[in-house]
């Protein structure tokens, strides 16, 4: 009996140790730190557009409504009957091309009155859409400034600019929709537009400014 009493504390101690180990083992199994999910942030798409051009561009309304086109047809017939040469009539027709183009009745009327097919072909062309384009440069100390480019065959004198407030020089042209290269001629010095980041090599080691119309 005495030995039995002595074994009880040993058994209790052993049981406590076993329970303690089991609790520690279970605790370790439950403490699991899951990695945080990786969240990918969408990067903005790169901007592929050209830099803005600091030039005022505004479309010009079609020059002639249909009634003016009829006036042109009548005028061409009168010029033809007056005996003027075809060169003069072609020049007049080219300057008065309108939109919309000729109707079948108007074409028949022109042919019946002796108008040549060359003149009719010109009048049948759709009018070219023009834009009013204002070029400016600030040069308060300059004595003369002009605009030169593909639109005037790179003439340094064909398009003089006029000085306005704050020493800003300006010139306004009517141009068709396309890309043009240009420079300013400031007191005989050829310089690109300092406010326009669009440039191309001028094949002489410098840069031409570029304006895109109708984009």
Q: What SS3 state is found at 24?
A: helix
Q: Which residues contact 115 (CB under 8 A, 6 or more apart)?
A: 76, 77, 80, 89
Sequence ranges of the domains in the chain: 61-123, 130-212
In the predicted structure, residue 144 carries a pLDDT above the cut 90: yes
Query: What was the pLDDT predicted at 100?
Result: 59
Which residues sit opposite 211 in a β-bridge? Answer: 180
CB within 8 A of 173, min separation 6: which ones? 132, 133, 135, 147, 151, 159
18-64 pLDDT tens trace: 555 554 544 444 444 444 444 444 444 444 455 677 777 777 665 55
Rama region for 18: left / alpha / beta (φ>0; ψ in -120 to 50; rest): alpha
Average pLDDT over residues 58-82: 72
pLDDT band of residue 201 (cuts 50, 70, 90) is very high
**pLDDT value of residue 19:** 58
Architecture of domain 130-212: Sandwich (2.60)
Residue 72 has pLDDT above 60, yes or no: yes
**Residue 152 class from Cβ within 10 Å (0-12 exposed, 13-18 middle, 19+ buried)?**
middle
Residue count of the chain: 215
Dihedral of CA atoms 73, 74, 79, 82 in degrees, nearest 10, equals: 150
What pLDDT was estimated at residue 130? 77
């Amino acid at each position: 009996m005495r030995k039995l009493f002595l074994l009880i504390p040993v058994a209790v101690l052993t049981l406590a140790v076993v329970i303690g180990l089991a609790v520690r083992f279970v605790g370790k199994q439950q403490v699991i730190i899951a990695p945080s999910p990786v969240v990918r942030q969408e990067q903005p798409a790169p901007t592929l557009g050209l830099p803005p051009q600091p030039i005022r561009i505004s479309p010009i309304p079609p020059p002639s409504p249909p009634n003016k086109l009829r006036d042109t047809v009548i005028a061409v017939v009168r010029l033809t009957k007056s005996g003027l040469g075809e060169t003069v009539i072609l020049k007049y027709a080219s300057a008065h091309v309108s939109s919309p183009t000729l109707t079948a009745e108007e074409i028949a009327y022109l042919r019946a009155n002796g108008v040549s097919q060359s003149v009719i072909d010109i009048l049948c062309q759709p009018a070219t859409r023009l834009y009013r384009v204002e070029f400016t440069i600030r040069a308060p100390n300059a004595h003369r400034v002009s605009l030169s480019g593909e639109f005037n065959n790179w003439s340094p004198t064909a398009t003089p600019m006029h000085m306005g407030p704050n020493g800003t020089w300006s010139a306004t042209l009517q141009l068709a929709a396309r890309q043009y290269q240009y420079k300013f001629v400031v007191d005989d010095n050829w310089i690109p537009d300092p406010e326009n980041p669009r440039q191309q090599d001028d094949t002489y080691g410098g840069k031409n400014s570029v304006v895109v119309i109708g984009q």
